[in-house]
């Protein structure tokens, strides 16, 4: 089986970008840094953008889409977004568009993309799952105020999950943010807390889950130690034995294999 790898290029309020590589093909999930910075991080991470075949965007906010249009034009690849996100981005007409929706499966080279709506204050935000022909898959859900039934369905049975753990609820309430901002972040159209992420991950655990990446941590209302302390106990109690890590904001992570854990490979059926 050809290895598929997830590359976390960076995640947080200052930018979010991920790359998935299968053989020579690469697809980006979000491009929330400048095009030059994404190219630099890909070079650092060993991701060859000569193989870039598409850029999928969860929503139009700058920390997810800042470099998307320039990268797409520069590398002559399509942007994959919901219709609402495409309208909000209003990119250069040289950039082609392929729509993502809950009703369609979109094939881009070896990757099949599925999407579902999320609860966030953007035009038409989505969570995204990426599947390969060999049955391997990963999914991305961040910038969501609450995990809807659609999100739960999209994330189930994935081998790798990238899930938001944005804030500690107490730190948010006692932060220097004005009350209106606190309500936005903690509300149904805002961001997922450590507690909510822990509950969702315990629910989503299955024997084939090999890695969980906690994404979009708030620099003011969260930190790696706090997120792990809030989430790891319940996830381990559910039986998870894989890798749990927090995505850093300022540097790429080592590649993560998109494959079942070794102990589950003899029991999974694709």
CATH number at residue 115: 3.60.15.10
**What's the confidence (pLDDT) of residue 190?**
87
**Residue 169 C-beta-side C-alpha neighbours within 13 Å:** 11
Question: Would residue 100 count as lying in a domain?
Answer: yes
pTM (2 d.p.): 0.94
Confidence of residue 267 (pLDDT cuts 50, 70, 90): very low
Structural domain containing residue 121 = 4-264
The pLDDT tens digits of the residues spanning 161-178 come to: 999 999 999 999 999 999
Confidence of residue 2 (pLDDT cuts 50, 70, 90): low
Confidence of residue 121 (pLDDT cuts 50, 70, 90): confident
Measured over all CA atoms, what is the biggest interatomic distance in the chain, rounded to whole angstroms?
Answer: 52
DSSP string, 55-88: EE-S-SSHHHHTTHHHHHHHHT--EEE-HHHHHH
CA-to-CA distance for 36 and 40, rounded, in angstroms?
Answer: 6
What's the Cα-to-Cα distance from 97 to each of 82, 115, 214, 225, 252, rounded to whole Å? Answer: 10, 15, 29, 40, 27
Question: Would residue 159 count as lying in a domain?
Answer: yes
Task: For the chain, give the mean pLDDT.
Answer: 93
Question: Would residue 269 count as lying in a domain?
Answer: no
Q: Which residue has the tokens 């084939």?
A: 208
Total number of domains in the chain: 1
**Residue 254 predicted with pLDDT over 60:** yes
Query: Residues in the chain, how many?
Result: 270
Which residues, including other chains, have CB under 8 Å from residue 165's CB and lie 6 or more apart?
192, 193, 194, 197, 214, 215, 216, 217, 222, 227, 230, 231, 246
Question: Would residue 247 count as lying in a domain?
Answer: yes
């Amino acid at each position: 089986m050809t290895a598929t790898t997830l590359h976390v290029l960076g995640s947080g309020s200052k930018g979010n970008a991920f790359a998935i590589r299968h053989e020579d093909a690469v697809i980006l999930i979000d491009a929330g840094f400048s095009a030059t910075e994404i190219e630099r991080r890909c070079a650092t991470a060993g991701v060859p953008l000569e193989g870039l075949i598409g850029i999928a965007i969860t929503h139009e906010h700058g920390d997810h889409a800042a470099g998307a249009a320039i990268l797409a034009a520069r590398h002559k690849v399509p942007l994959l977004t919901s219709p609402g996100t495409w309208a909000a981005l209003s990119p250069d007409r040289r950039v082609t568009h392929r729509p993502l929706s809950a009703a369609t499966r979109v094939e881009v080279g070896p990757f099949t993309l599925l999407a579902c709506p999320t609860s966030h204050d953007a035009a038409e935000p989505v969570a995204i799952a990426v599947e390969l022909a060999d049955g391997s898959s990963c999914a991305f859900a961040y910038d969501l105020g609450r995990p809807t039934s659609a999100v739960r369905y999209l994330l189930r049975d994935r081998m790798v999950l990238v899930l938001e753990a944005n804030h500690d609820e107490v730190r948010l309430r006692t932060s220097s943010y004005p009350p209106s901002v606190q309500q936005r972040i903690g509300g149904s159209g805002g961001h997922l807390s450590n507690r909510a992420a822990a509950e969702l991950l315990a629910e989503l655990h299955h024997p084939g889950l090999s890695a969980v990446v906690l994404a979009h941590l708030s620099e003011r209302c969260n930190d790696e130690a706090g997120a792990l302390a809030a989430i790891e106990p319940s996830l381990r109690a559910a039986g998870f034995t894989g890798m749990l890590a927090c995505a850093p904001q300022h540097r790429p992570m080592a590649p993560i294999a998109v494959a079942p854990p070794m102990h589950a490979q003899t029991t999974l059926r694709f």
